[in-house]
Amino acid sequence: MFAYGEKVLLIDAKKRRYLFSLRHNGEFHTHAGFLAHNLIIDALEGSTVQSTKGAYYIVLRPTLEDFVVQMPRGAQVIYPKDLAPICMMADIAPGLRVFESGVGSGALSMTMLRYGAIITGYELREDFANRATTNVREFLGQDAMSRYNVTIRDAYLGIDETGFDRMVLDLPEPWQVVPFAHTALRKGALLVSYSPSITQTVRMREALGDGWLDHRTLEVLHRTWHIEGAAVRPDHRMVAHTGFLTSARFIGN
């Protein structure tokens, strides 16, 4: 059963998706009528509910991907096609201490928290930091906040904490943080940087000089397929370039 305060995903007959939180005395409204939240509370996941005008909706709990795509945002989010590779390249695992900057709207934060990481985040803008913490709390719950500490700081000016296992950067000039990584990271730690442009990526690779091993840069292209009976072909549209992912391992000076 669902509970008030929980996120719910409704899918209508045209496969349109609606994501919202369940509230006491709340109502979900569209052109197809309204639906009282208390009807959803009484429904089982995967069941069907009906609006006042006879529209049917399948009731589901949203996945992390659902939430990232539709969540409130201040900064541009890193999309799911890049979130999973970042976590794989950074080898995010339970209990690892991760330094993250900037946190933006929290998409990457909640993905790494879902993997069990402990995150220290630096964010330059207070409104972005507030949005990120709100999004993390709304999707993962209050318990996750014990592993998520975001402060209003400029990572270009330095990093106070030390002993991090991982560093993940989504910044316009990530190369400015590399000198501070030498003292913030333990030996053997991994760094992953996300940059939209190749010129940013080249600057970042140039900054990873002595003390860094296994440099690599890649991008992820996402193409879906149309499969309907004997008609099988790639979809005409794809999610191509969003950003370059650069990783390296710190081995010390």
Q: How many domains does the chain have?
A: 2
Dist. CA 204–CA 196, nearest whole Å: 12
Dist. CA 120–CA 195, nearest whole Å: 20
pLDDT digits (tens, 9 = 90+) for 110-155: 999 999 999 999 999 999 999 999 999 999 999 999 999 999 999 9
Asked if residue 55 belongs to a domain, the reply is yes
Q: Which residue range forms the structural domain that includes residue 52? A: 7-62
Asked if residue 2 belongs to a domain, the reply is no
Domain co-membership, 117 together with 17: no
* Residue (of 120, 109, 119) closest to 86 by Cα position: 109
State the 10-residue block means of pLDDT for the chain, 253 residues long: 90 93 92 91 92 94 92 82 96 98 93 97 95 93 96 97 97 97 97 97 95 96 94 92 96 85
Domain co-membership, 22 together with 80: no
Asked if residue 22 belongs to a domain, the reply is yes
Dist. CA 24–CA 5, nearest whole Å: 9
pLDDT digits (tens, 9 = 90+) for 88-105: 999 999 999 999 998 989
**CATH code of 28's domain:** 3.10.330.20
- Kindly tell me the burial class for residue 166, based on how many C-beta atoms sit within 10 Å of its own C-beta (0-12, 13-18, 19 or more): buried
pTM above 0.85, yes or no: yes
